Structure 1
Amino acid sequence: MEVQDRIKIAAAFAFLVLGIVGYYLLGSASGALGVLSVVAGVLLAGAVALMSSPGKGFVEFAKEAVAEVKKVVWPTRKETIQLTMLVFGFVVALAIFMWIVDGALAWLFYDLFLGRGK
């Protein structure tokens, strides 16, 4: 990262810190003014950060991510309901299986091996 980019990132961080400090200095006098200080600090920090190379790279990444999301083929309502019912069916089948295994192991260890009959 270049020196200019480091300075821009440091300035963005400084704006953010100044906005938060402004909230604590102005917050007791007027709540809206303190919140405005934080919002201004975040907006200034974002604007300065977006002018750096990492900021520009982030914008490109975000654009590419949005383009990829637009390519996604989302399932229909019918497919979603069918897959949800399939998952519920597997959950019920697994619960029954685990109940049977638990009962069998309890019988095996407590009743057969340890002789603690019910």
Structure 2
Amino acid sequence: MNSRVEARGASLDVVKLAVAVSLLVGGILAFYYFSGISTLLRVIGLLVIGAGAAAIAFQTEKGRLLWQFASDSRMEVRKVVWPSRQETLQTTLVVVVMVLIVGIVLWLFDMILMSILRFLTGQGG
């Protein structure tokens, strides 16, 4: 009996997801179909339809798992120790200087190799 209840719940989840997707697709189609109406009203309507589709989708098992993942991720972001402004500026400066140095070195290698290639092929003089 338990497997029958799980199968019914899974099929109901599929129906809910299908309704959410069709609602979202219908909202997008309506957005373009009613192009004569103000863009602001169409965007507001699309946002309301999108929120309704999300509300339906979050009622499924996959939606609840997605919501749990988002809340767990938010909790982990709060634990991160962000660098100070000075550390960020110093790191950025080091990256910019290294990019310039590597660019200059690669430019010099290119010039040397091009000179060697011109000498070997007899071009340029």
* TM class, shorter-length: 0.7 to 0.9
Q: d(CA) in 1 for partners of 2:76 and 2:11?
A: 33
Q: d(CA) in 1 for partners of 2:14 and 2:56?
A: 11
Question: Structure 2: 5+ residue runs without aligned partners?
Answer: 1-8
2:88 aligned to which of 80, 83, 101 = 80
How far does the alpha carbon of each residue in 1:75-103 deviate from its partner, in whole angstroms, 9 at most, with x for none? 11111111112112211211221122112
Q: d(CA) in 2 for partners of 1:2 and 1:13?
A: 17
Residue equivalent to 1:65: 73
Matched, 1:116 2:88: no
Structure 2 matches for 1:1-118, cutoff 5 A? 2-28=10-36, 30-31=37-38, 33-111=41-119, 113-118=120-125
Question: Structure 1: 5+ residue runs without aligned partners?
Answer: none
1:17, distance to aligned residue in structure 2 (A):
2.7
8 A contact 1:12–1:49 mirrored in 2: yes
Select between 14-23 and 45-54 the one with higher mean Cα deviation: 14-23
Q: d(CA) in 1 for partners of 2:96 and 2:42?
A: 50
How far does the alpha carbon of each residue in 1:12-60 deviate from its partner, in whole angstroms, 9 at most, with x for none? 11222332343345443x3255444323321211111111111111110
Select between 60-69 and 98-107 the one with higher mean Cα deviation: 98-107
Amino acid at match of 2:12: Q
8 A contact 1:15–1:41 mirrored in 2: yes
Distance change >3 Å, CA 105–CA 42, structure 1 → 2: same
TM-score (norm 2): 0.78
8 A contact 1:20–1:41 mirrored in 2: no
TM-score (norm 1): 0.82
